[in-house]
Amino acid sequence: MERTYPLMHAKLEKQSFNEFSYVFKWNGKDTSMAPYVLMAHLDVVPVEAIAESKWTYPSFSGKIEKDTIWGRGAVDDKSSAIAIMEATEQMLENNFTPERTFYFCFGHDEEIAGKRGANIISQWFKEKNINPAFVLDEGGMIDTEKFKDVQRPVAVIATGEKGFVNVDISVAIPGGHSSQPEKETAIDVLNKAIVRVREKQMPPIISPPVKSLLEKTAAEQSFVKKIAIANMWLFKNLVIKGMEENKQTNAMVHTTLVPTIVKAGIKDNVIPSIANATFNSRILPGQTSDDVVNFVKNAINDERVTVKKQTISLMEASSSTPSNHPSFQMLESITQKIVPNVLVSPYLLIGATDSRYFRPFSDAVLNFTPMQNAKGFHGIDERIGVTDLSRMISFYKLVLAEK
């Protein structure tokens, strides 16, 4: 970083947190103004060894082929960090000084809840009594594929994000030799419990950010959809049913629950005595982690299954920044400058980001980067267009120059 961005390291104040997380401070002309915070994280999720051969290019190669950068972290979230630093370095080369002070916060453990990175950084902000007027982190993007009826690019800026909780379920039934199985084993009971949880969904909620998204996009859609959105009191269930047909829009109106870890057994001829599974849940505003646990217990309805909530990475759903906030309007204006004919809308972030640690003491927290139709994040062939990275650099330059 120091070799690539020498001016940034020479002219900005830098602090390290737990060795690998960094905060840069760029003093503005008017120190009486509350600062802005730009965020990104430097860590990435791993690549499964078995999936490496399925990548078009080696997963950590950073291969640039034509207009595409390939590799883990290209989307999530090294591109944001690089775009922030590129924008800063270029502006320093021109002896630019921002009107207000900016902090750049780069965490190193966002993918494992940010406890030693963004969490510690946010505590430092609180100890120093630094209350940002605006925090910008990863999240929303530009889409031209999911809103086909709109027929123009849609930039979704997240004004809030879902919560996060892991729920463990466990079954203990004496095992034995696989040649003499009982009618039900620990694995049998666990499997039935998993199926029961997955058969139903928690009650739907249309949160304020999702309602705004529906209203914004409905204005550009068919007459029937306009009528439905304009009369939610009558057509709410119909609108929700339509959103449930797609996994991404379904996640906007439901608290989701999915098993991500299943463990049982140590040998092929031994029936295990204990079988465990972990559900990952993303919680809608208006529902809580306790609601999730109660839903799981009621869905399983079997006293042999123990249900326990993990607390180490628990985060309840966040509050939302109003879409009429000046910071949202600023991002809307900047996005319209760099993306022709774009429709800008608020929405609810279905994942979780480091910025959640700043929500309790910041006036506004928004999640957005102007990359378009990002591909492969957390999966195979993660990649971003060179034109997207260039657009992101231009975007951050405009944010830094904002008066």
Q: Which of 43, 109, 161, 382 is catalytic?
A: 43
Q: How far apart are CA 2 and CA 228, in angstroms?
A: 54
Q: How far apart are CA 75 and CA 386, in angstroms?
A: 11
Q: Which of 77, 86, 109, 110 is catalytic?
A: 110
The dihedrals phi and psi of 253, each to the nearest 5 degrees, come to: -115, 0
Indicate if 110 belongs to the active site.
yes
Q: How far apart are CA 190 and CA 194, in angstroms?
A: 6
Indicate if 199 belongs to the active site.
no
Catalytic residues: 43, 110
